[in-house]
């Protein structure tokens, strides 16, 4: 008996993703209101909180973020109007997004985790993961191990992200994605 694969579902979201550097072309398009419309913004970290506030204010769409290893000036109220999704699963309509901040532990600074710590962060979400079912997108600062990562600790990915995306998600956004508009988002 042949099982047919479930058809891909189009959520139809246009998602602007940003991380690590301020893209002057993007900034100009936002300022001149020539950027094509987006439904939400996702930051994968290492951007000034004021820049995220600027994007959120000018584009007037939800902005969700995870912090990177250089994000030390963030506070509960800055970036303004933006939502930290670290160790959380949020839903935008029927689209489920999970967030995990930080990088591999390399000098004990902010937003750094060992493999065991990150694995525990994921494990602590087991009930939410079970309840939500499919996670359509995992947003991280560090990449999964051996996928666009490097051998130095501050750029090394987490092995536990590989397991997570194999079991729960078909899309992962991490800092190597830089600035892009994703459209439409396809999931199974």
The size of the chain, in residues, is 188
Residue 133 has pLDDT above 50, yes or no: yes
List, for residues 86-97, the tens digit of each pLDDT value: 999 999 988 999
1 in any annotated domain: no
Mode of pairing for the β-strands spanning 112-113 and 137-140:
unpaired
For residue 83, what are the domain limits?
10-187
Between these two residues, 89 and 166, which has the higher pLDDT value? 89
Overall average pLDDT of the 48-74 stretch: 96
Residue 175 has pLDDT above 80, yes or no: no
Q: Report angle CA 149, 152, 153 to the nearest 5 degrees.
A: 90
pLDDT confidence of residue 172: 76
- pTM to 2 decimals? 0.87
143 in any annotated domain: yes
Q: Domain with 118 in it: what CATH number? A: 3.60.21.10
List, for residues 95-127, the tens digit of each pLDDT value: 999 999 999 999 999 999 999 999 999 999 999
Contacts with 116 (C-beta within 8 Å, 6 or more apart), sequence order: none
List, for residues 6-50, the tens digit of each pLDDT value: 333 447 888 999 999 899 999 999 999 999 999 999 999 999 999
46 touches 60 (CB < 8 A): no
pLDDT confidence of residue 176: 55
155 in any annotated domain: yes
70 in any annotated domain: yes
- As for how many domains the chain has, the answer is 1
């Amino acid at each position: 008996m042949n099982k047919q694969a479930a058809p891909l579902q189009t959520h139809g979201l246009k998602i602007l993703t940003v991380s690590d550097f301020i893209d002057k072309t993007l900034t100009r398009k936002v300022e001149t209101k020539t950027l094509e419309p987006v439904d939400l913004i996702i930051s994968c970290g290492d951007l000034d909180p004021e820049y995220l506030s600027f994007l959120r204010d000018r584009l007037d769409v939800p902005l969700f973020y995870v912090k990177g290893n250089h994000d030390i000036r963030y506070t509960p109220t800055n970036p303004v109007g933006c939502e930290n999704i670290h160790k959380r699963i949020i839903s935008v309509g029927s689209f489920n997004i999970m967030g995990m901040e930080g990088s591999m532990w390399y000098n004990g600074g902010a937003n750094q985790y060992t493999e065991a710590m990150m694995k525990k962060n994921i494990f602590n979400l087991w009930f939410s993961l079970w309840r939500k079912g499919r996670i359509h997108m995992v947003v991280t600062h560090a990449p999964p191990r051996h996928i666009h990562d490097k051998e130095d600790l501050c750029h090394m990915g987490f092995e536990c992200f590989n397991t997570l995306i194999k079991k729960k998600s078909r899309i992962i956004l991490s800092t190597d994605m830089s600035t892009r508009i994703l459209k439409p988002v396809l999931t199974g």
